[in-house]
Amino acid sequence: MKTIVANWKMNVGVRESVALARGTLLALRGKPHLPDVVVCPSFTSLGEVRKVIARSYVSLGAQDVSSQDQGAMTGEISARMLFEAGVTHVIIGHSERRNLLHETDELIAQKVVQAFTHKLVPFICVGESKKDRETTHHTEVVRAQLRVALSLTDRKQLGRFFIAYEPVWAIGTGVNAGVQDILEMHQFIRHEIVEYLGDRTPAFGVLYGGSVTGENAYDYLREKEVEGLLVGGASVKLTHMTEILKAAQSVLERQSS
Ligand code: PGA
């Protein structure tokens, strides 16, 4: 299976989100080989987008979640609230939040606990900076991010999850990572997770994100180690998103024949 996650970030309001959701459904209609698709609108659009995708193959994701269960946390939105709003998936630890809002690995670990507690499937984002890559510290950095992110979750609480490998230098820059580099990192991540969680490792997938477009999506998706894509900029342009979905469909069709 392949999973395509559309991270609409703070780019579209309610009306455009509804239009994007409708367009995404249209792009999937009548196709025999469908990827799992998760759309992640901003909080204010969740309700309307939920109505559009009800009873479809498309799932509803949130772009973030509070690290706390409830209480005096002005402006925060809890996992319980997201669940109540029909959300099934949540992006956690996106590099924009790590960098711009100074989210730490420890905070991300608390958010992961919240997601599992309230039965949301987390997309846990990890990835190295340009400097880490240039100084060949990338695997070390990703290993530390992975371990801390899962460190507070009780092994019995673990549910299905995804790791989104998103090298910081590739996000929103137009400089996408090479397939070979991604394959190495995806294998590394899979190995690290299994080593860290051992017998308790639940089903999990490793996604790639960073300047994914309609043109490069197929090259990633055809690799079995790439279980899907987390798409930012291209996901708010329907023509690009449609191309990415087509790429996923052709890979799935080839795999089934
Ligand atoms: P991008 O963003 O596709 O615009 O690079 C990816 C992401 O932020 O998840």
pLDDT at 200 over 90: no
Residue 4 pLDDT: 98
Catalytic residue among 96, 103, 128, 166: 166
Half-sphere exposure of 229 (CA within 13 A, CB side): 30
Which atom of ligand 1 approaches the CA of 172 most closely? 5
11 CA to middle of ligand 1, Å? 12
Q: Whose CA is nearest to atom 8 of ligand 1?
A: 232
DSSP conformation class of 222: T
% of the chain at pLDDT higher than 90: 93
Task: Let me know if 103 is a catalytic residue.
Answer: no
β-pair partners for 121: 89
Q: Is residue 153 very low, low, confident or very high in pLDDT (cuts 50, 70, 90)?
A: very high
pLDDT at 39 over 90: yes
pLDDT at 22 over 90: yes
pLDDT at 190 over 90: yes
Residue 49 pLDDT: 98
235 CA to middle of ligand 1, Å? 9
Q: What is the mean pLDDT of the chain?
A: 96
pLDDT at 105 over 90: yes
Residue 43 pLDDT: 98
Task: Let me know if 166 is a catalytic residue.
Answer: yes
Cα–Cα distance for residue pair 53/102, rounded to 1 Å: 33
Average pLDDT value for residue range 81-110? 97
Stretch (H or E) spanning 115: helix 105-117
pLDDT at 28 over 90: yes
Ligand 1 contact, 166 CB (< 6 A): yes
Q: Which two tokens mark 252?
A: 């799935």
Q: Is residue 199 very low, low, confident or very high in pLDDT (cuts 50, 70, 90)?
A: confident
Q: How far is CA 212 from CA 93, 132, 220, 244, in A?
A: 19, 21, 9, 8
Task: Point out the least confidently predicted range of 40-44, 87-91, 133-137, 203-207.
Answer: 133-137
Cα angle: 8, vertex 97, 208; to 5 degrees: 60
Q: What share of the chain is helix, strand, coil (3-state, %, to 5)?
A: 50, 15, 35
pLDDT at 25 over 90: yes
pLDDT single digits (tens) 47-84: 999 999 999 989 999 999 999 999 999 999 999 999 99
pLDDT at 227 over 90: yes
Ligand 1 contact, 175 CB (< 6 A): no
Cα–Cα distance for residue pair 89/207, rounded to 1 Å: 14
Q: What is the pTM of this model?
A: 0.97
